[in-house]
Amino acid sequence: TCCSVLRLGDKLLQTSLINSHLSCYNVTSCVAEMLAPPGQVKFESIDYKNSLHWAAPTNSSCLQYYVQYKIYGELDWLNASNCQGIHRHHCNLSGATSDVREWYYARVRASCVATSSKSAWAMSRRFSPRWDTKISPPTVKLNLSKQGVVVQVKASRVLMRKVHNGVDNNIYVEVYEVASGSRLTLTELKPRTRYCVQAQTVVPRHMKSSDRSTAECITTD
Ligand SMILES: *[C@@H]1O[C@H](CO)[C@@H](O)[C@H](O)[C@H]1NC(C)=O
Ligand SMILES: *[C@@H]1O[C@H](CO)[C@@H](O)[C@H](O)[C@H]1NC(C)=O
Ligand SMILES: *[C@@H]1O[C@H](CO)[C@@H](O)[C@H](O)[C@H]1NC(C)=O
Ligand SMILES: *[C@@H]1O[C@H](CO)[C@@H](O)[C@H](O)[C@H]1NC(C)=O
Ligand SMILES: *[C@@H]1O[C@H](CO)[C@@H](O)[C@H](O)[C@H]1NC(C)=O
């Protein structure tokens, strides 16, 4: 065990270890490593909003978390400045991981001041904003006009800002794809008929698309 680094006859140290209930102590680094690391460390990303999530290693209420990140290929870990000594189990890394072309790692460790213990770092898998993000479905609005049913599709504002309006939407009426774009008028419709429309946002530059939105329906006069 790591306790074997204790030198024989180091009575003072052994006594203090027993008193503080530390099961393991690295004399060389003077760091107690008794806390289990956080579990299930993973990035979640929607519309290029990236956050790190993890599970608490114990049910102890004293836990605080420290998050670091780095760009793949770089040596140094950087502190996520807004996620040092936090109690919540997630960290907004959108700012730190804003370059969609890069790959990133993040890691988190737990500490408990009351028992002066720290866990090892728990690392995420490699994360790519570009490949790993999920695009959210657009909102669809329908309006009856003289010309027909006006379909208006809007992708999420956060997404539009991130990809500088480089999005397209596929518009589906019933099960057929009828158009692309953000506005469309459906003409030559049958009267007193219910039409349902769904749409899907596409980011051609990143070869990504959202799920289809929920269907919006309208009945013609
Ligand atoms: C103790 O910590 C030092 C420095 O961090 C490390 O090199 C060494 O491998 C550790 N020993 C054990 C048994 O964990
Ligand atoms: C925390 O407590 C819940 C219920 O009290 C238990 O199901 C769970 O296993 C505990 N988690 C840990 C990590 O001890
Ligand atoms: C990160 O924060 C810790 C304190 O929590 C500090 O010791 C360390 O130097 C910081 N690292 C960087 C790269 O700023
Ligand atoms: C996450 O951080 C980014 C950039 O720092 C900020 O624009 C955004 O509002 C934050 N999101 C949340 C949910 O706090
Ligand atoms: C639908 O029509 C109403 C009134 O004709 C108008 O106020 C509203 O802005 C229209 N909505 C859309 C999404 O075009």
First to last CA, the chain: 79
- Give the residue whose CA is nearest to atom 13 of ligand 2: 58
Residue 150 beta carbon below 6 angstroms from any ligand 5 atom: yes
Q: What number does CATH give the domain 39-132?
A: 2.60.40.10
CA 54 to centroid of ligand 4, rounded, Å: 18
CA distances to 23, 26, 144, 198 from 162, in Å: 49, 46, 32, 23
Q: Classify domain 139-219 at the CATH topology level.
A: Immunoglobulin-like (2.60.40)
**178 Cβ below 6 A of ligand 3:** no
Does the beta carbon of 58 lie inside 6 Å of ligand 2? yes
Which residue lies with its CA nearest to atom 14 of ligand 4?
92
pLDDT in tens, 74-95: 999 999 999 999 999 999 999 9
Same fold for the pair 39-132 and 139-219 = yes
**pTM as predicted:** 0.72
β-strand partners of 111:
64, 118
Query: What is the per-residue pLDDT across 138-180, written as a single tens digit (0 to 9) for each?
Result: 999 999 998 889 999 999 988 988 888 788 888 888 767 788 8
Q: What six digits make up the tokens of 169? A: 């939407």
| Host H or E run for residue 160 | helix 157-162
Q: Return the minimum-mean-pLDDT range out of 18-22, 85-89, 105-109, 210-214.
A: 18-22
Domain boundaries, the chain: 39-132, 139-219
DSSP 59-105: --TTEEEEEEEEETT----EEEEEEEEE-SSEEE-TTTT--TTS-EE
Task: State the pLDDT confidence band at 121, using cuts at 50, 70 and 90.
Answer: very high
